[in-house]
């Protein structure tokens, strides 16, 4: 969703490899190796935590059969997820819900 694909592609190579593997696990119906629920964004939203070349995060929704929706991907530079990053993910979640309602 949004610029998430570009953000993932901008990650360093080692981070992209880990991210790709973790997303593959999710597509296969398994859990990522290191994740946490992000209920502050929405029901079913989770965050993959990647600890390679710094801290990177992928916020996603995988509760619908047709797709794993990557809502936001970013490098985390502080202990707490910023309001800006949460707001981006919330807006993209709203887009997913609206687009599914139209279909």
Query: What is the set of domains in the chain, with CATH numbers?
Result: 4-102 (3.30.2310)
Which residues contact residue 34 at a Cβ distance below 8 angstroms, ignoring those fewer than 6 apart?
Answer: 48, 49, 50, 51
Residue 45, CA atoms < 13 Å, CB-side half-sphere:
21
With CA atoms as reference, report the closest residue to 41 among 76, 94, 89, 9.
89
Predicted confidence (pLDDT) per residue in 55-98, tens digit = 999 999 999 888 999 999 999 998 899 999 999 999 999 999 99
Predicted confidence (pLDDT) per residue in 5-60, tens digit = 999 999 999 999 999 999 999 999 999 999 999 999 999 999 999 999 999 999 99
CB 62 within 8 A of CB 68: yes
| Beta bridge partners of residue 47, listed in sequence order | 36, 59
């Amino acid at each position: 969703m949004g610029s998430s694909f570009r953000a993932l592609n901008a990650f360093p190579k080692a981070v992209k490899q880990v991210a790709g593997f973790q997303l593959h696990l999710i597509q296969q119906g398994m859990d990522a190796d290191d994740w946490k629920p992000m209920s502050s964004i929405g029901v079913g939203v989770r965050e993959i935590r990647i600890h390679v070349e710094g801290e990177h995060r992928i916020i996603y929704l995988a509760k619908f059969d047709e797709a794993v929706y990557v809502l936001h991907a970013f490098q985390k530079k502080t202990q707490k997820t910023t309001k800006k990053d949460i707001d981006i993910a919330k807006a993209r979640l709203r887009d997913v819900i609206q687009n599914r309602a139209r279909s």
